Copies of this chain bind each other. A is one copy, B any other.
Amino acid sequence: MTRPSQHGATADGEGPPPIAGDVSSFPSDAELARTLAAGADRATLCTLTADGYPYGSAISFSLDDDGSTVFLMSEMAEHTVNANGEPKASLLIAADPTPGADPLSAARLTLVGRLAKLADPGVSRDRYLERHAYAAYYADYTDFAFWRLTVERCRYIGGFGHMSWVTADQYRDAGVDPLVAAVDGITAHMNDDHADANLTFVQRLADLPEATAATMVGVDRYGMTFQVVTPERPRLARVAFPDPLTHADQAEHAVIGLLRSLRDT
């Protein structure tokens, strides 16, 4: 779900060529952030020690409907001791980097806000245990409690040169991409079995008639992203769906429909 950088200009003025096709069809950073958070279940919690050091610890989390994150914390853990003293905190959620690539080219997200212990965790507890079934056996110990990080602002970094601050409202209101769990399957299927369709898309819909090969590297409700081979240089290209998808099941139909519309013309 990474949006490729369009802003990779380097200090000496060089940079990658612009992305071909309909770049306005990329999801917003708020949508990318919500989607990245929804696809992850562990992260780094940053709290403040009594002597003023920001302190990072590994933590599992789940998401409430508004995108705030929920944790099951032991009273004895350092981050709980810290949070009892100072509620200001942040959570870094990072996508797994592509093996061999610079890890800093992978998407990540920092949710900045305040931690509060939940007196009555209710549905947040259910969500957490749905996601982390192994935690059921210690969830009710008296020295464990559910906590929530209420998001006040959010830093989204899509990769080199692609980053922005997202407000709490933008983050809360953005929808999780319905294709999030289907991306790997769709891209593998298109690249393994329909390389000809990928090439048709970028030749016809991304203004790259000279392209000789195209690999799908991303797909979301708004469209598809391709890594393209052209005689001159490698390019990234974006092809929009005619209408945003609302469910992953619609992807196959949308792709076939788009292909037919091209072959009929």
Binding site for B on A (CB under 8 A): 10-12, 41-42, 44-49, 52-60, 78, 88-92, 94, 97, 101-104, 106, 108, 110, 112, 132, 134-135, 137-138, 141-143, 155, 157
Q: Please state if A53 and B88 are interface contacts (CB–CB under 8 Å).
A: yes
Other contacts beyond A44-B44, A55-B112, A60-B104: 11, CB < 8 A: A41-B103, A42-B97, A44-B94, A46-B56, A49-B112, A53-B88, A53-B89, A53-B112, A54-B90, A56-B90, A102-B134
Contact partner of A58 among B41, B57, B108, B135, CB < 8 A? B108
Q: Please state if B46 and A55 are interface contacts (CB–CB under 8 Å).
A: yes
Q: A132-B102, A155-B78 are in contact. Are A48 and B54 (CB under 8 A)?
A: yes
Give Cα A143 to B46, complex, Å.
26
| A46 contacts across to B, CB distance below 8 A | 44, 46, 54-56
Q: Please state if A10 and B90 are interface contacts (CB–CB under 8 Å).
A: no
Copies in the complex: 2
| A142 contacts across to B, CB distance below 8 A | 11
User: Sorted from nearest, which 8 A-B pairs have the closest CB atoms?
Assistant: A56-B92, A54-B54, A44-B44, A46-B54, A11-B141, A46-B56, A102-B134, A46-B46
Give Cα A112 to B53, complex, Å.
7
Q: Among A46, A97, A137, A157, find the residue whose CB has the most chain B CB atoms closer than 10 A.
A: A46
Q: Please state if A138 and B53 are interface contacts (CB–CB under 8 Å).
A: no
24 residue pairs bridging A and B, Cβ less than 8 Å apart: A10-B137, A10-B138, A10-B141, A42-B103, A44-B44, A44-B46, A44-B56, A44-B94, A46-B55, A47-B54, A48-B52, A48-B54, A49-B112, A52-B88, A53-B112, A54-B88, A54-B90, A55-B90, A56-B90, A58-B94, A58-B103, A58-B104, A58-B106, A102-B135
Give Cα A104 to B11, complex, Å.
41
| A60 contacts across to B, CB distance below 8 A | 102-104
In the complex formed, the residue of B with least CB distance to A72 is B104
| A102 contacts across to B, CB distance below 8 A | 60, 132, 134-135
Q: Please state if A91 and B56 are interface contacts (CB–CB under 8 Å).
A: yes
| Chain B proximity of A235: nearest CB distance (Å) | 20
In the complex formed, the residue of B with least CB distance to A91 is B56
Q: Please state if B54 and A55 are interface contacts (CB–CB under 8 Å).
A: yes
Q: Among A59, A110, A142, A155, find the residue whose CB has the most chain B CB atoms closer than 10 A.
A: A110
Give Cα A143 to B161, complex, Å.
14
